[in-house]
């Protein structure tokens, strides 16, 4: 692999806090919760009735052909607009670059669940002849990436990674590898998810993975707090434009930060529970630091996976200590923005990478809200309840998925 440097030149975000990056970032800095009562489906029979929904978003203006929006699942209706936002933010003119050297890697943990549920209901109630001919392309997890490439004619590396809640981290990280290897000059990378449907809600509820704090939805996601009772589902998309540094400089691009490191590992432990010894995630963090050529003490801020589950938060705390040694408890700021957005599953890593990048650009660490009674077994500095001003040169983002998938990204302040 060559020493090509990879930089971030554009960011697109759609989240429960807002329909673009500025609104999402302002919500994170304010410590505002985007979680409320679910409106997309009837939850009267469900133990969990809350989620971080994206409300009032119209995807049609982001499509060249608005009819394509109607032929897209909700997750693609987030993915393609977020990709357009990242492209526009980067200032790249698709007609002024070699499109065969521009790729797309926007993954999804679950894919078109809305389409699957709706079309299965039609199948059961009205018979097979009434099922939409678009059902398969609408629901498959790679179609968002395909549609984005078709929208702009980008013929470079194109794939969709599915690693549950590590999906966006892996998508961005593998795009980083491809650019460093020289097989692309730029890649739109990230994740999208829209699984707040009765099927998704029932599945996670019956696993007892979700918070049931229905009377106080804005206080339900409380990572590292002793009273946490599970994660809160969220939805949306995050996409970044990654570019080879020379390619970006040649066209005069504004550079947010350098994507410097990526680490990936497996717990090899359990279907859904994290390994309690933290060694799997620690290996991913250590690999990312090695690639970024930084030591643990160089990392100023870590955006934790921090889902607000009883086992997960403790296991991640242990992993951070294994990976970072004394620095974990002496100088490292850690926060979980899922306390505000909920858990966007396959999209979450891209939103959290955006938070890391903006923390570097603006010198602000977003808080972990609802941290009122810190769990003694979670004994790090989690930036409780209020954003903190700090000079951030190096930031890391963790993403862990069911199946034991671990992925860590590291971004640095761009130094020319």
Structure tokens given for 10: 């554009």
CA angle 204, 311, 300 (to 5 degrees): 110
Of 305, 324, 378, 405, catalytic: 305
**Dist CA 42 CA 155 (whole Å):** 42
Tokens 């409780």, located at residue:
384
- Among residues 48, 165, 324, 378, the one annotated as catalytic is 165
Cβ neighbours for 134, distance < 8 A, ≥ 6 positions apart: 71
Cα separations in angstroms, 168 against 186, 231, 312, 408? 17, 18, 19, 10
Is 19 tagged catalytic? no
Q: Tokens in use for 135?
A: 């059902």
Answer yes or no: are the C-beta atoms of 12 and 82 closer than 8 Å: yes
Q: Give the DSSP per-residue string, 37-105.
A: E--SS--TT-S--EEB---S---GGGSSSHHHHHTS-HHHHHHHHHHHHHHHHHT--GGGS-GGGEEEE
Which residue, chain included where needed, has tokens 């498959």? Answer: 140
At which residue do the structure tokens 């999209």 appear? 347
CA torsion angle 305 309 310 314 (round to 10): 0
Choosing from 19, 114, 291, 343, which is the catalytic residue? 343
Q: Is 114 a catalytic residue?
A: no
Q: Is residue 165 annotated as part of the catalytic site, yes or no?
A: yes
Q: Any idea which residues carry the catalytic annotation?
A: 165, 305, 343
């Amino acid at each position: 692999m060559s020493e090509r440097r990879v930089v971030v030149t554009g960011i697109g975000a759609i989240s429960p806090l807002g329909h673009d990056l500025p609104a999402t970032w302002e919500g994170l800095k304010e410590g505002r919760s985007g979680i409320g009562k679910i409106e997309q489906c009837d939850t009267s029979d469900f133990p969990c009735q809350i989620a971080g929904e994206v409300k009032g978003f119209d995807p049609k203006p982001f499509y060249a052909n608005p009819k394509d929006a109607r032929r897209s699942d909700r997750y693609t209706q987030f993915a393609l607009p977020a990709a357009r936002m990242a492209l526009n933010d980067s200032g790249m003119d698709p007609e002024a670059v070699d499109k065969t050297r521009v790729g797309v890697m926007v993954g999804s943990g679950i894919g078109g669940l809305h389409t699957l549920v709706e079309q299965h209901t039609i199948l059961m109630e009205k018979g097979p002849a009434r099922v939409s001919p678009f059902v398969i392309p609408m629901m498959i997890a790679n179609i968002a990436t395909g549609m984005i490439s078709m929208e702009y004619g980008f013929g470079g590396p194109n794939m969709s990674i599915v690693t549950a809640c590590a999906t966006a981290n892996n998508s961005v990280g593998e795009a980083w590898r491809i650019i460093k290897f020289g097989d692309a000059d730029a890649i739109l990378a990230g994740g999208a998810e829209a699984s707040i449907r009765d099927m998704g809600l029932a599945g996670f509820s019956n696993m007892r993975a979700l918070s049931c704090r229905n009377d106080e939805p804005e206080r339900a996601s409380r990572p590292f707090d002793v009273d946490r009772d599970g994660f809160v589902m969220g939805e949306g998309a995050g996409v970044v434009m990654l570019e080879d540094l020379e390619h970006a400089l040649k066209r005069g691009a504004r550079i947010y930060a350098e994507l410097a490191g990526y680490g990936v590992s497996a717990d090899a432990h359990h279907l859904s529970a994290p390994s309690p010894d933290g060694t799997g995630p620690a290996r991913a963090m250590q690999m990312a630091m090695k690639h970024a050529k930084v030591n643990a003490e160089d990392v100023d801020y870590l955006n934790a996976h921090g889902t607000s589950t009883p086992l997960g938060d403790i296991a991640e705390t242990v992993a951070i200590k294994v990976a970072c040694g004394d620095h974990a408890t002496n100088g490292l700021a850690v926060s979980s923005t899922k306390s505000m957005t909920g858990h966007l599953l396959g999209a979450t890593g891209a939103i959290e990478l955006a938070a890391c990048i903006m923390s570097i650009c603006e010198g602000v660490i977003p808080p972990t809200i609802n941290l009122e009674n810190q769990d003694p077994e979670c004994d790090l500095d989690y930036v409780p309840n209020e954003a903190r001003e700090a000079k951030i040169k190096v930031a890391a983002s963790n993403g862990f998925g069911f199946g034991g998938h671990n992925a860590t990204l590291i971004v640095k302040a761009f130094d020319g």
